[in-house]
Amino acid sequence: MSRIVQKFGGTSVGDVERIKKVAERVKLTAAQGNQVVVVVSARAGITNELLSRARAVCKDPSEREMDMLLAVGEQETIALTAMALHDQGVDAVSFTGAMAGIQTDRAHTKARIVTIDASAVEKQLEAGKVVIVAGFQGINEEGHITTLGRGGSDLSAIALASAVKADKCEIFTDVDGVYTADPRIVGKAQKINEISYDEMLELASSGSKVMQPRSVEFAEKHGVLFEVRSSFNFNRGTVVKAEVPHMEKVVVRGVAVDKDQAKIIVSNILDKPGSAAKVFRALADANIVVDMIVQNVGRNGIANLTFTVPQGDTLKAQKSLEPVLDEIGGGHVAVHEAIAKLSVVGVGMKTHSGVAADLFKGLADASINIDLITTSEIKISVVIELDRADEAARIVHTIFGLDAE
Amino acid sequence: MSRIVQKFGGTSVGDVERIKKVAERVKLTAAQGNQVVVVVSARAGITNELLSRARAVCKDPSEREMDMLLAVGEQETIALTAMALHDQGVDAVSFTGAMAGIQTDRAHTKARIVTIDASAVEKQLEAGKVVIVAGFQGINEEGHITTLGRGGSDLSAIALASAVKADKCEIFTDVDGVYTADPRIVGKAQKINEISYDEMLELASSGSKVMQPRSVEFAEKHGVLFEVRSSFNFNRGTVVKAEVPHMEKVVVRGVAVDKDQAKIIVSNILDKPGSAAKVFRALADANIVVDMIVQNVGRNGIANLTFTVPQGDTLKAQKSLEPVLDEIGGGHVAVHEAIAKLSVVGVGMKTHSGVAADLFKGLADASINIDLITTSEIKISVVIELDRADEAARIVHTIFGLDAE
């Protein structure tokens, strides 16, 4: 007998018919003799309904009350999912995040899980029940309802899997798993059968939106093996787990394109100690995440700083830099939004040389200009012009032997 | 400084505009220097939405999961009400029933309040906050969410008022208070300024639907003074409190008409010990509440039993009696639905004689036939034909001097 955590997102529980399908799937898993914990999100759409009501009564709703409000979404789903299981003859019981013992810190709307007291969940499992837990939500030490922010239900599932020492955690979604590239861009993209946490993290941070990085980080830290798979079929998905030696045989695991970045150039600044620090302090104070950074020093002690930020933050970035410009010698801020970041990811890069050279040559052969470059142990990222990003992804996918037959 | 509990029902919080109005009213109460606990119901309509989803996934939803599902209704309202107060500059915090310490027994969908640990609520009051509590719901000793059944939010309000030792509990509704009769039937009905718990109970059980009897019983048992008043205006409502001597000056406080009763006659049964017991045991086993009972013994040891039951239960009553008929000597069951119960209620009856005589004479003068009669210390009820019930109510209202000038 195994213990399995299964997580279904908002689309998978989007209406009563979908909920019945989820129940059928859970029933199958339970019928195979497994103890099953099911983590569900709020149905797709309800969050927007609730937000619009909140905005109608309050210009600036407090985060504490927003959590109280949004938590009803999953509570509806857990009750309906338990009922759907009952209707199919499966003994099941629903738990809110608080009832499931998911203790968080006090950061409303983006709480972190501090600990999980899974004793109540385990008691029900031992009693032969399927336990349905509300994802995305928890309770803080003062007894107030908190929510975990974007991707919170994935995190709930992985943290619960760790707490109940599950043999497996399945993250059901609307895709078959993690692909070597976005199949909408690269027609020959293939599903990856297994991938290391680090590769998954680098792919996620490079624009592959399957899961939020912090869920993967949590899984890595606590050694939770999980599988990303489709709720619409029974295909095997992508198993995400700790790196094992044979993974290094594949040099490049996947190619990711991030079109949501903008490039900012701060030019004509004095090349003196502290200039760059002042720029990035100002951006950090404005809560802007800076990704790739390059500094060029020209003649006469004049330097340029180039970096990328999320496109939605460009105006905020410009504003936050204005008061700094004088301090660093005048200078000028320019924004370029027509860029994309292309990344190749693979733990094999640790032991294989020449990946960067192959990448640069492939792009050069197609006359695609490389603007910025950053590298990590298992990733190389380049900034290229937006118009040629999809073509570049297909070229690189072929170069590294990722194309499906 | 006073401590006040204010309860708003589903119509009063039916949409965002209504919630803003509730917040305005609460703000006024708080601005007068009062500590305020607000108890709210689910918005009108949401319960039916949730029930229809439940029925779509499960033929026979469990009561435990039904409570989990329905509890989201009030949770939405408390968050929105707190936000609306914030928007008006009032410091407020929302609590679910569980967070407010409302402990119940395990009877899902119709739980009874066992105790209230109001320390968390009181802490927030002392900190100067308005506390918004979800009515209708609580938590049982195993930590499962329960609901209190019909009229549960009134009960939550009155029980909280008792727990926090409130100076006053205001039950806001869509009428101005308790009337001497239903104004839709008796045009000259007047609002009652104050009424005893017992009178309120007798009026409620006689078809005046302002509040569920158990909330009034709870208030009486714990000495909670409450006022029933309109959420749409600032008129004084009806204060419900313990009986005081001057209340007896009014002989009849109100007239109630209950058109939801049916009369059942079990005729030609043997007049021997145990016959009536068997009849009422069968009805009790079928969960049918029997109201008025009369037994007539005719010649030859043959008796008739006549009683009233809620109209919705007549079929169930007939079915439950079938297996008993043979045991009690054959007999015949007849149902008459075209009846009404007219009641006059008043603590003054304890010390005034002649109320019954006046009532019977008034009806007789109008040639309205009286079918059954029951009396209690403070109430006289008669069954009359349905077609003349409204006319009878007006006549009786006049006889006992209740008409508005």
Q: Do A82 and B68 touch (CB under 8 A)?
A: yes
Q: Do B65 and A94 touch (CB under 8 A)?
A: yes
- Mean pLDDT, consecutive 10-residue stretches, chain A (405 aa), reads 95 95 97 97 94 96 97 98 98 98 96 96 98 98 94 96 97 92 94 94 78 92 95 94 86 93 90 84 90 81 89 92 86 92 92 89 94 90 95 96 91
pLDDT recorded at residue A269? 86
Measure A45 CA to nearest chain B CA, in Å.
Answer: 15
Partner-chain residue, chosen from A16, A56, A83, that has the shortest CB–CB distance to B62: A83
pLDDT recorded at residue A270? 83
Measure A113 CA to nearest chain B CA, in Å.
Answer: 20
pLDDT recorded at residue B294? 86
Both tokens of A377, joined, read: 């142990």
pLDDT recorded at residue A244? 85
CA atoms within 13 A on the CB side of A275: 23
Cβ pairs bridging A and B (under 8 Å): 111
Q: What is the CA radius of gyration of chain B?
A: 24
A positions 113-152 inside 8 Å of B (CB) = 120, 143-145
Q: Do A16 and B93 touch (CB under 8 A)?
A: no
Q: How many CB atoms lie within 10 A of CB B78?
A: 30
Residues of B in contact with A65 (CB under 8 A): 79, 82-83, 86, 93-94
- Scan for tokens 């979604």, then name that residue: A173
- Kindly give the residue spans of alpha helices, DSSP state H, lying in B223-331: 275-285, 314-325
For chain B, the domains span 3-174, 244-405
Best of A17, A60, A65 to substitute, by most chain B Cβ atoms within 10 angstroms, is: A65
pLDDT recorded at residue B269? 87
**Does B357 contact chain A (CB < 8 Å)?**
no
Residues of A in contact with B93 (CB under 8 A): 64-65
DSSP tally for chain A: helices H, then strands E: 11, 20
pLDDT recorded at residue B296? 82
Domain A3-174 has CATH 3.40.50.300: no
| Nearest-Cα residue of chain B relative to residue A66 | B79
A232-243: per-residue pLDDT in tens? Answer: 899 999 999 998
**Does B68 contact chain A (CB < 8 Å)?**
yes
Both tokens of A345, joined, read: 């990811």
| Nearest-Cα residue of chain B relative to residue A20 | B57
pLDDT recorded at residue A272? 79
| Nearest-Cα residue of chain A relative to residue B139 | A99
CB-count burial class (<10 Å; 0-12, 13-18, 19+) for B256: buried
pLDDT recorded at residue B261? 92
Q: How many CB atoms lie within 10 A of CB A32?
A: 11
A32-83: per-residue pLDDT in tens? Answer: 999 999 999 999 999 999 999 999 999 999 999 999 999 999 999 999 999 9
Q: How many CB atoms lie within 10 A of CB B140?
A: 19
**Does B23 contact chain A (CB < 8 Å)?**
yes
Residues of A in contact with B76 (CB under 8 A): 50, 53, 69, 72
A285-324: per-residue pLDDT in tens? Answer: 988 989 888 888 777 778 888 999 999 999 999 999 998 9
Residues of B in contact with A20 (CB under 8 A): 57
* A207-210: long-range contacts, CB 8 A cutoff, minimum separation 24: A207/A256, A207/A257, A207/A258, A207/A259, A207/A260, A207/A341, A207/A343, A208/A178, A208/A179, A208/A182, A208/A254, A208/A256, A210/A173, A210/A175, A210/A178
Cα A260 vs. chain centroid, distance in angstroms? Answer: 14
Measure B57 CA to nearest chain A CA, in Å.
Answer: 5
Measure A84 CA to nearest chain B CA, in Å.
Answer: 5
Q: Do B82 and A65 touch (CB under 8 A)?
A: yes
Measure A67 CA to nearest chain B CA, in Å.
Answer: 9
Q: Which of A264, A23, A233, A46 is nearest to A136 (CA)?
A: A46
Element (H, E) at A81: helix A63-87
Measure B153 CA to nearest chain A CA, in Å.
Answer: 19
B positions 97-116 inside 8 Å of A (CB) = 99
Measure A136 CA to nearest chain B CA, in Å.
Answer: 16
Class of domain B244-405: alpha beta
Q: Do B59 and A87 touch (CB under 8 A)?
A: yes
| Nearest-Cα residue of chain A relative to residue B67 | A79
Partner-chain residue, chosen from B61, B75, B82, that has the shortest CB–CB distance to A72: B75
Measure A212 CA to nearest chain B CA, in Å.
Answer: 28
Partner-chain residue, chosen from B83, B93, B144, that has the shortest CB–CB distance to A61: B83
pLDDT recorded at residue B20? 97
pTM: 0.87
- List the pLDDT tens digit at each of the 405 positions of chain B: 899 999 999 999 999 999 999 999 999 999 999 999 999 999 999 999 999 999 999 999 999 999 999 999 999 999 999 999 999 999 999 999 999 999 999 999 999 999 999 999 999 999 999 999 999 999 999 999 999 998 899 999 999 999 999 999 999 998 899 999 999 999 999 999 999 999 999 987 776 777 888 999 999 999 999 999 999 899 999 999 998 888 888 889 999 999 999 999 998 888 777 888 889 999 999 889 898 888 887 777 788 889 999 999 999 999 999 989 888 887 889 999 999 999 999 998 888 888 999 999 999 999 999 989 988 889 999 999 999 999 999 999 999 999 998
* Angstrom distance (rounded) from CA A33 to CA A38: 15
Positive/negative CA dihedral, A368, A370, A371, A375: positive
